[in-house]
């Protein structure tokens, strides 16, 4: 059976000025498996998508992407699904609008790696699972990127994300926010993660001259 990505409408106002695509995480499985709409990694992004949509309901089109497969060590990767979603969003809205990608865990990695796509104006990575060697394809010069990590994350390394942030700072406008006491699932301090994501996306897409959060103290390894 051919596994295909799915793009779910959250909010599609007629006069949208920007697009947000929300990306889920989820660990790999021993065999290729389809993404379930009811898996926890998908469900934890639903309230974040709605918070972003409610922040500027008449100005932002918001979609949730369900990847074609679980995890990353498959082909195509979630980055291929992001590229597909960008095309789908443009087709559904009938025009190309600036996009902000918002992802958690492996979805955060996909958001960072997808930041170089031409229509992407910025990216938010929540507790991203990354490799320090990761590098966005395409031009990210001057693009705002926000990385938010819980200090108690034991799944995705805050230190590894900080190393990547340092590398990306030479090319993009990177901010790094540490949420003290938060773990990988974002269950604790969930409101802080969702607030930062909503504020960043609305400012990036609708008020790009407004300063986004900056990070001065990146955690170590």
* Beta-sheet strand order (sheet of 144-150): 6-11, 60-66, 18-23, 99-104, 120-126, 144-150, 173-179
The whole domain housing 169 covers 6-206
Answer yes or no: is 201 within a domain.
Answer: yes
CA pair distance 156, 139, nearest whole angstrom: 26
Largest CA distance in the chain: 48
Answer yes or no: is 106 within a domain.
Answer: yes
- At 216 the pLDDT is 45
Answer yes or no: is 213 within a domain.
Answer: no
- Per-residue pLDDT of 122-146, as tens digits, reads 999 999 999 988 999 899 999 999 9
Answer yes or no: is 126 within a domain.
Answer: yes
Per cent of the chain over pLDDT 70 is 95
Answer yes or no: is 1 within a domain.
Answer: no
Answer yes or no: is 217 within a domain.
Answer: no
Please state the rounded mean pLDDT for residues 204-213: 82
Answer yes or no: is 182 within a domain.
Answer: yes
Answer yes or no: are the C-beta atoms of 89 and 63 closer than 8 Å: yes
Number of structural domains the chain divides into? 1
Name the band, by pLDDT with cuts 50, 70 and 90, for residue 215: low
Question: What is the CATH classification number for the domain harbouring 180?
Answer: 3.40.50.1820
- At 30 the pLDDT is 66
Please state the rounded mean pLDDT for residues 153-160: 94
Answer yes or no: is 46 within a domain.
Answer: yes
């Amino acid at each position: 059976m051919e596994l295909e990505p799915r793009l779910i409408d959250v909010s599609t106002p007629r006069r949208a000025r920007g697009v947000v695509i929300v990306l889920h995480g989820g660990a790999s499985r021993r065999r290729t498996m389809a993404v379930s709409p009811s898996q926890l990694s998908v469900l934890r992004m639903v309230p974040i998508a709605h918070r972003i949509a409610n922040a500027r309901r008449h100005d932002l089109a918001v979609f949730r992407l369900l990847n074609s497969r679980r995890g990353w060590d498959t082909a195509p990767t979630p980055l291929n699904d992001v590229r597909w979603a960008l095309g789908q969003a443009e087709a559904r809205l009938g025009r190309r609008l600036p996009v902000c990608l918002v992802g958690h865990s492996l979805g955060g990695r996909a958001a960072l790696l997808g930041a170089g796509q031409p229509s992407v104006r910025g990216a938010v990575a929540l507790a991203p699972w990354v490799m320090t060697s990761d590098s966005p394809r395409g031009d990210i010069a001057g693009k705002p990127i926000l990385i938010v990590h819980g200090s108690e994350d034991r799944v995705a390394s805050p230190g590894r994300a900080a190393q990547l942030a340092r590398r990306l700072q030479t090319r993009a406008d990177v901010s790094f926010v540490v949420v003290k006491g938060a773990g990988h699932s974002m269950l604790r301090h969930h409101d802080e993660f969702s607030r930062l994501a909503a504020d960043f996306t609305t400012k990036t897409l609708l008020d790009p001259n407004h300063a986004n959060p900056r990070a001065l103290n990146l955690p170590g390894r």
